A and B are shown apart, each in its own frame.
Chain A
C-alpha cells in the first residue's frame, strides 16, 4: 500500500463526486433535506387534520339521563363541538352517520350503591367512522371530568376518601423523564433511518467508481497508471465509505434537528424533548463507520460487475434491500441487544445505535458487534481483492454475474476464461 498514491486517487474520486449532481443529491442533499421535509409534511398534515377536527361538530344523544345528573347534560352542552340531539332511531342514525354517539344511563341494580345517585353509562358509537370516534373522545373527556367530581363529592358526604369509595383504583405513573421518552422515540426511528441512509449514500459513489468508469472509458486509463491495483481499490473503497458515512451522519443530524423542532411542537402537551447524550455520539459514529465500511465493500463488489451505470443500479439495488431487510428484526419490541444478537451483521449495529441513543452501553455485545462487522468488512475486501486479480474482470471482458463468478472462480477456483493478472 502506498498512502501517497491512495491519497492522490482518493482526492480525485471525491473531487469528481462532488461535481456530479446525482451523487451530491443522493449523498448530501437527500440526507439533509428528505426526512426533514417528509416530517414537515407530516407535521403540517397532522396540524391540518387536527384543525379540521377541531371545527367538527359531534352530534350526541343522551338517553335515560337521571335527574340527579342533569349537571352532566349541562357540562356536555357547554363543551365546544358537541351538540345534543334527539332521535327516534338512534342506533340506525349512528350507522347512517346522522348521529355520532349515544350515551345510555343505566341504574346499577346489583351492587350496593354507596354513593347516592350511582349510575352507569354506556357509550355507543361507530369506531369505523372518524366523526364518531372523535365524538367518543370528546364525550369521554367530559364524562371522566364529571365522574371525578361526582365521586369526590359523594365520598365527602360519606366521610371517606375518593379512593375508598372507588375500591380497586388503578393509577399510572411514568417514571421516564421527558428527555428519556424523547430518546426512546429517537431510538425507534434513528437506527432505521441511519442504516437506510448509509446504504443510499453508498449506491451512487459505488456505481460511479466502477461501472461509471467502465462506461466513460477511464477504467482502462487507470489500469495503466503507475500504481498498484490494491492502491486503486483502496482509494475507491475509502471514497465510497466516506460518502456513505457522510450521508448517514448528515441524515441523523438533520433528523435530530427536525424532530426537536417539529415533534416537540407537535407533542407540546406531552413535553417530550429530543436529544441524545454526548457520550452516545462516539458509539453512534463508530457504528455508522462500521456499517459504511461494510455496505461500501458490498456495493463496490457488485457494481464492479456492471459495464454501465444502469447495469450497476440493477445489480446494487437487490443488495440494498438485503442490507435493509434485517432491520425488520429490530422492530420487535421484545428484541434485546444480547451477545447472540450481536453476532448478526447489520442488526447488531442497529441495536447498538438504539442502545446508545437511550444511553445504555452493554460492552460485551458492543465488542462482539465491532468484531463481527470488522470480520465482514475484511471478508468483503478480501473478496474484492481476489476479484480484481482476474484480468478478464479488469479488462471488462468477463460476461458473467457476481454469483457466477463466485461459483466459477471462488468456490471451484477453475479460473475459467480469466487468467490471474500480475
Chain B
C-alpha cells in the first residue's frame, strides 16, 4: 500500500462527499508578441470523483498541460474557477499545493541529492508533519523498492530508478489528489508500465488522480472517465463505455478522431 488512510496527510481528505476536484469555466488566454491572443484553455469544466482516475486526452497543444498547470497553481486562470478539496486555486494556492502531488515529464529531481534526501525534502516542504517525516520516507523507500540505492545520488541512478524516486517524491506528503501530466513521455515500455501500475495502486488507495495523456492505450487502460480536450475545449467527458455508446466506435482512437474532426 502506498498510504494507509490512518496515516497523516499534508492535506485533509474531503469531509463530505463533494467532488474533490471541481473545475468551472476555466479559461487561460496568453498574449503572444508574434501570434497575438491565444486561448490555450477555453471554458473548461469538469469534476473528479474520489478514488477515480480522470483522464484528459488530447493531442499536443490541446490545452492539457495549461489546464493542469492552473490546477496546480503554477499559473493562474484568466477566468473561471477551480477548487481542490475546497481550496480555491486563486484564493488559496498554498492550500491547493498542500492537497496535491504534481508529476510530469518535465518535473525533474535534484541530481545532487540522494533518493532518501529527495523524498525527505519534498515531504517537509509539502508540510508533512515533521515528527513523522522519517517514518514516511522509510515507508516509501520500502514500498517503491528503492532501499538499495536510497543513499545514492539521483544523478547516478538509471531512468527507471529515477522514475520510482520521482513518484515517491510526488506522494511524499501523502496528498489526496494527484496530477500526472503525461508521465510516460520519453519512457521505455517497461518504465511506462511501472508508472501505470503505480497510478493504478494510488487509485486503489482512494486517491483522486487527474491523468493527462495523448496515448490512447494508456487512457483506455487507466482512466475511469475520460475528457477529450481539443483546442482548449472539452469536447466530451464520459466513461469509455459511455463514449463508445455515444459515438458508436469501439476503439478510443476512433472515438477521439470522431470528436476532433466532427464534434458530436
Q: A residues touching B (Cβ–Cβ < 8 Å)?
A: 5, 8-9, 12, 15-16, 19-20, 216-218, 220-221, 223-228, 391-392, 394-395, 416-417, 419-422
Contacts and interface: CB of A to CB of B under 8 A. Distances in A.
Interface in B54-110: 69, 72-76, 78, 89-90, 93-94, 97-98, 100, 102, 104, 106-110
B173 interface: yes
A331 B37 CA distance: 54
Given A8-B121, A220-B107, A226-B173, 11 more contacts: A224-B72, A224-B97, A225-B122, A225-B125, A226-B94, A226-B98, A391-B74, A391-B75, A392-B30, A395-B74, A420-B76
B110 A218 contact: yes
Nearest to A13: B110
A15 B31 contact: no
B33 A223 contact: no
B73 A12 contact: no
Given A12-B113, A217-B107, A223 B74 contact: yes
Given A225-B97, A226-B94, A16 B110 contact: yes
Contacts of B76: 391, 419-422
Contacts of A228: 94
Contacts of B127: 226-227
Contacts of B78: 419
B153 interface: yes
Interface in B120-143: 121-122, 124-127
B74 to A, nearest CB: 5
A417 B32 contact: yes
- Classify the interface of chain B: helix, strand, loop or mixed: loop
A218 B97 contact: no
B124 A8 contact: yes
Given A9-B125, A395-B69, A417-B32, A226 B10 contact: yes
A221 B108 contact: yes
A394 B126 CA distance: 19
A421 B104 CA distance: 20
Contacts of A224: 72-74, 97, 100, 102, 107
Contacts of A419: 75-76, 78
A22 to B, nearest CB: 11
A221 B109 contact: yes
B24 interface: no
Contacts of B125: 5, 8-9, 225-227
Contacts of A395: 69, 74-75
Nearest to B32: A417
Contacts of A16: 110, 112-113
A4 B157 CA distance: 30
A9 B124 CA distance: 9
Interface string B169-198: 000010000000000000000000000000
Contact of A394 (B75, B112, B153): B75
Interface of B: 10, 30-33, 69, 72-76, 78, 89-90, 93-94, 97-98, 100, 102, 104, 106-113, 117, 121-122, 124-127, 153, 173
Nearest to A227: B125
Contact of B126 (A226, A392, A417, A420): A226
B137 to A, nearest CB: 14
14 contacts: A15-B112, A216-B108, A216-B110, A218-B107, A218-B108, A221-B108, A224-B73, A224-B107, A225-B126, A226-B97, A226-B126, A391-B75, A395-B74, A422-B73
A419 B98 CA distance: 24
Given A8-B121, A224-B97, A225-B125, A421 B75 contact: yes
Contacts of B100: 224
A224 to B, nearest CB: 4
A416 to B, nearest CB: 6
Contact of A416 (B10, B33, B117): B33
Contacts of B124: 8
B163 to A, nearest CB: 14
B33 A217 contact: no
Nearest to A215: B108
Nearest to A9: B125
B166 to A, nearest CB: 9
A12 B102 CA distance: 20
Contacts of A218: 107-110
Nearest to B96: A226
A217 B109 CA distance: 7
Contacts of A220: 74, 104, 106-107
Contacts of A392: 30
A419 B111 CA distance: 31
A250 to B, nearest CB: 22
Contacts of B73: 224, 422
Contacts of B126: 225-227
A227 B97 CA distance: 8
Contacts of A216: 108, 110-111
A15 B117 contact: yes
A227 B108 CA distance: 18
A5 B98 CA distance: 13
A9 to B, nearest CB: 7
B90 A422 contact: yes
B126 to A, nearest CB: 4
Contact of A19 (B72, B75, B112, B122): B112
A273 B107 CA distance: 56
Contacts of A19: 112, 153
Contact of A221 (B93, B98, B107, B153): B107
Nearest to B166: A221
A167 to B, nearest CB: 77
Contacts of B97: 224-227
A220 B90 CA distance: 18
A286 B127 CA distance: 35
A226 B127 CA distance: 7
